C-alpha cells in the first residue's frame, strides 16, 4: 500500500497532546558482545544535562535516557539524538558500546542488582525471574491528565497494541543464536506476574481497586510495579505505552511515538463520543501479543477487531488509516508517511539483525551495526 491518505477538509480542533519517551540501552563489550556491568561509570560520565535525563536501571549493564516533555515531534527527535549521543560517548569512555537492542544478545555474566532497597526486595520476591538477562524497552508517554479518561483510553488501546509491538520488534537473538522470535524480550517478560496486556477496567476506581488487590496478594510490591503494556502513569499525568522493544534508530523511535500519540488522540475522541471499547477476550489479546512478538512484521498478526490472522502489513495499513486524521492535526503526517515507507523497505530492527547475521554469520557484525544505528 502507498500511503496517500484522503484528508477531510473540515478537521475537528484538537489540543496537541504532549509526548515523552524513555529508552533503555544495553552496555556491551566491544570485543566479546557480552553485557558489561559499567552503568555507574557511564552515568557518572554523562554531561550535566544528559545526567539529569538519565536513570539507573535494574541491571548494571543498562542505562535509561528520558526526554523532556514536548509537543513537537521535531523537538522530540532532537532530544533523542542528543541523549543517545551523550550516552554513547559516556559508554565509550567506560570501555563499552551503547546498543539499542531489546534483549541481551549473547551473555550477561554479572546479574546482581544495584544496591537499592527496592531492587533487593524485587530480587527476594521474584527469585530467578528477577535475574534473567537484561531486556530493554521503549516507553512512550502521551499527556492525558484525567485518570478516568486515561483508564478508558487504555481499554481502547488493547486492540491496537499488538500492531505497535510488531513495529518495534528488535530482539531476535539470545545466547548467541536466533530464537525464532522477532522480540525475545516479549517472551522473557511474560515470566513476570505484573507484565502483559492491560486488563479491561470499568473505571479508575475499578483500576485502583484491582491494583490494591494485586499488591495485597503479593503479586506486586507497589503500584509502580504495574507493568502492563498501557497504563495511567503512576508518576505523570500521562498514558504510558510500554509494549515495545527499544528501537535501533532515532527515526524508528520517533515513528512509534508519532503513531502512539495519534492513536491515543484517536481513541480519546471515541471515549469523549461515548463509544465503548470493543469487548475482546483476554486470551485473544495475549495470543495477539505472542504472535506480534514471534512474527514482527514479517508474517501474520491477529486482527482483534475482525478475528483471525492477517498479513502484518495489512494491519499496519489499517492502523495508519485509523490515525491519519490525528496525524494531520498534530502536523506529523508527512514524517510518518516517509518513515513507514522506510520501515517497509528496510524491515524492523529484528529483520535488519537477521539480514546481517545471514550475510556475515558473525554476531559481532550485528552488534557493531546496532551500535552504529544507536549512535546515529
Kindly state whether residue 169 falls inside one of the protein's structural domains: yes
Picking from 330, 336, 319, 242, the residue whose alpha carbon sits closest to that of residue 17 is 330
List beta partners, residue 278: none
Q: What is the pLDDT of residue 359?
A: 97
1 occurs within a structural domain: no
Tens of pLDDT, residue by residue, the chain (376 residues): 333 333 332 333 447 999 999 999 999 999 999 999 999 999 999 999 999 999 999 999 999 999 999 999 999 999 999 999 999 999 999 999 999 999 999 999 999 899 999 999 999 999 999 999 999 999 999 999 999 999 999 999 999 999 999 999 999 999 999 999 999 999 999 999 999 999 999 999 999 999 999 999 999 999 999 999 999 999 899 999 999 999 999 999 999 999 999 999 999 999 999 999 998 999 999 999 999 999 999 999 999 999 999 999 999 999 999 999 999 999 999 999 999 999 999 999 999 999 999 999 999 999 999 999 999 8
Is residue 5 assigned to a domain?
no
Q: Could you give the count of Cα atoms lying within 13 Å of 299 in the half-sphere of its Cβ?
A: 17
Taking the CA atoms of residue 194, residue 197, residue 203 and residue 209 in that order, the dihedral angle to the nearest 10 degrees is -20
Is pTM beyond 0.85? Reply is: yes
Q: What is the pLDDT of residue 25?
A: 98
* Residue 331 belongs to a domain: yes
Residue 15's pLDDT is 78
Model pLDDT, residue 178: 97
Residue with cell 465503548: 276
CA distances, 244 to each of 56, 184, 252, 336 (Å) = 20, 11, 11, 18
Residue 145: phi and psi, rounded to 5, are -70, -15
Domain count across the chain: 1
Nearest to 28 by CA among 176, 165, 169: 176
Q: How far is CA 20 from CA 68, 188, 205, 348, 370, in A?
A: 6, 25, 26, 22, 23
CATH code, domain carrying 134: 3.30.590.20
* Residue 13, domain member (yes or no): no
Q: Which domain range does residue 136 map to?
A: 19-375
Pairing relation of β-strands 227-228 and 195-196? parallel
Q: Is residue 10 part of a domain?
A: no
Query: How far is the first Cα of the chain from the last one, in angstroms, to the nearest whole number?
Result: 29
Cα–Cα distance, 290 to 180 (Å, whole number): 12
Q: Does residue 14 fall inside a structural domain?
A: no
In a domain, 80, yes or no: yes
Amino acid at each position: 500500500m502507498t500511503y496517500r491518505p484522503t484528508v477531510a477538509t473540515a478537521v475537528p480542533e484538537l489540543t496537541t497532546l504532549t509526548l515523552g519517551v524513555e529508552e533503555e540501552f544495553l552496555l556491551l563489550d566491544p570485543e566479546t558482545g557480552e553485557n558489561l556491568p559499567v552503568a555507574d561509570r557511564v552515568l557518572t560520565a554523562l554531561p550535566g544535562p544528559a545526567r539529569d535525563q538519565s536513570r539507573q536501571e535494574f541491571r548494571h549493564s543498562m542505562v535509561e535516557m528520558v526526554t523532556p516533555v514536548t509537543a513537537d515531534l521535531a523537538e522530540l527527535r532532537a532530544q533523542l539524538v542528543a541523549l543517545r549521543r551523550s550516552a554513547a560517548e559516556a559508554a565509550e569512555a567506560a570501555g563499552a558500546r551503547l546498543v539499542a537492542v531489546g534483549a541481551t544478545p549473547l551473555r550477561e555474566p554479572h546479574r546482581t542488582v544495584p544496591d537499592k532497597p527496592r531492587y533487593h526486595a524485587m530480587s527476594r520476591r521474584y527469585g530467578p525471574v528477577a535475574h534473567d538477562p537484561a531486556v530493554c524497552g521503549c516507553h512512550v508517554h502521551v499527556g492525558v491528565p484525567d485518570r478516568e479518561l486515561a483508564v478508558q483510553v487504555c481499554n481502547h488501546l488493547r486492540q491496537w497494541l499488538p500492531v505497535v509491538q510488531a513495529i518495534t520488534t528488535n530482539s531476535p537473538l539470545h545466547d548467541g543464536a536466533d530464537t525464532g522470535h522477532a522480540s525475545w524480550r516479549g517472551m522473557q517478560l511474560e515470566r513476570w506476574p505484573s507484565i502483559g496486556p492491560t486488563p479491561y477496567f470499568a473505571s479508575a476506581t475499578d483500576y485502583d481497586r484491582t491494583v490494591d488487590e494485586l499488591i495485597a496478594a503479593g503479586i506486586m510490591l507497589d503500584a509502580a510495579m504495574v507493568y502492563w503494556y498501557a497504563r495511567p502513569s503512576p508518576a505523570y499525568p500521562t498514558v504510558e505505552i510500554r509494549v515495545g522493544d527499544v528501537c535501533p534508530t532515532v527515526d524508528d523511535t520517533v515513528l512509534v511515538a508519532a503513531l502512539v500519540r495519534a492513536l491515543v488522540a484517536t481513541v480519546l475522541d471515541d471515549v469523549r463520543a461515548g463509544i465503548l471499547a470493543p469487548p475482546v477476550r483476554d486470551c485473544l489479546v495475549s495470543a495477539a501479543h505472542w504472535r506480534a512478538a514471534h512474527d514482527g512484521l514479517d508474517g501474520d498478526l491477529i486482527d482483534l477487531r475482525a478475528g483471525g490472522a492477517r498479513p502484518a502489513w495489512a494491519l499496519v495499513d489499517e492502523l495508519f488509516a485509523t490515525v491519519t486524521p490525528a496525524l494531520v492535526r498534530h502536523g506529523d503526517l508527512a514524517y510518518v508517511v516517509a518513515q513507514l515507507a522506510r520501515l517497509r523497505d528496510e524491515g524492523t530492527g529484528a529483520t535488519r539483525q537477521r539480514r546481517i547475521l545471514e550475510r556475515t554469520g558473525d554476531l559481532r557484525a550485528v552488534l557493531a551495526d546496532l551500535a552504529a544505528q544507536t549512535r546515529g
